[in-house]
Structure 1
Amino acid sequence: MQKQIADRIIFLCDVLPDKFRQIPAADFQTWPQPTKWSQQEILGHLIDSAANNHQRFVRGQIEDTPTVFYQQDQWVNIQAYQQENKDILISLWESYNRHLAHVITQVANENLEKECRGKDGSTVTLAFLIEDYLRHLEHHLHQIIVY
């Protein structure tokens, strides 16, 4: 499972950065609705997701049921992704996901059933979190570009 997920993430990293760069900056920063993120903010959100899931994938193997969650809207607002350099965001997204693909392949099979706790107190396994990371990633990538 981990290898297939990591391979898919690497594929996305191989294909999408150039496609992101082809989107005109004005389009990349356009809000579809006043309360919806721009494509640039979605990409920033995916960086935040990578950072938080990085914590889950590592701490979930070390600690007993760590609690890792974040307030996604506040993270996007505080970091002002809308004003960030587009190329920096694209490079950071790509690099972080290439690293996460590596981390995912290093999760020992016996650790896949270890659990992390979410904001609501419920627990899920590392296996679920790894699979869900890719689902979440692709969901938001499709909001930016069809590939």
Structure 2
Amino acid sequence: MPVTPSIERLTSLLRLVPDLLQEIAEEELTAKPAFNKWSKKEILGHLIDSATNNHQRFIRIQSENEPVIFYDQDQWNSLTGYNDLETKDLINFWKAYNLHIISIIKRVPPENFGRAGIGRDGQKHTLKWYFDDYVDHMEYHLRQIIAY
């Protein structure tokens, strides 16, 4: 499978990260470094929004001809109100959604990894590229929340 390294990285994160997130005090999770910056809890929420949109991307790239998929991440975060949600529920949902993403990716026929979708920048990228980028993006943001 062409994305095995990314599946392995994501699987490792799902084993490691939830316990580390649970150790962070609620005050630290909800503190905003600036008015227009996300709290750690909102960053985790952003990763859930990313999972939601990439879930759609991973399916639609296989079933449509070069779908255009993007979203306004600040609006999604603001309208969801992640800082007000229960931390444990947020962590569990993030983990469960990503386990679901892994199951989807494992079912992708190898020839479909070369199919393309179009993002906000108007550029075509393959399903493989989107999945690898999804895991890279996740790690970038997780490092804003915890050290691992």
Category of TM-score, reference length = shorter chain: over 0.9
- Matching residue of 1:111: 112
**C-alpha deviation, 1:119, in angstroms:** 2.1
Map Cα deviations across residues 92-145 of structure 1 (whole Å, 9 max, x no partner).
000011111121122211111111011232211111101100110000000010
TM-score (norm 2): 0.96
Could you tell me whether the CA contact under 8 Å between 1:6 and 1:102 is conserved in 2?
A: no
Corresponding pairs, count: 147
Q: Following the alignment from structure 2 to structure 1, what is the Cα–Cα distance between the partners of residues 8 and 101?
A: 11
Structure 2 stretches lacking a partner, 5+ long: none
Aligned Cα RMSD in Å? 0.9
Could you tell me whether the CA contact under 8 Å between 1:7 and 1:101 is conserved in 2?
A: no
TM-score (norm 1): 0.96
* 1:1-147 to 2 correspondences below 5 Å: 1-147=2-148
Map Cα deviations across residues 53-100 of structure 1 (whole Å, 9 max, x no partner).
001111100111111111000000000111111111100000011111
Q: Following the alignment from structure 2 to structure 1, what is the Cα–Cα distance between the partners of residues 30 and 98?
A: 22
Structure 1 stretches lacking a partner, 5+ long: none
Q: % of aligned pairs identical? A: 41
Q: Following the alignment from structure 1 to structure 2, what is the Cα–Cα distance between the partners of residues 90 and 126?
A: 26
Q: Which amino acid aligns with 1:13?
A: L
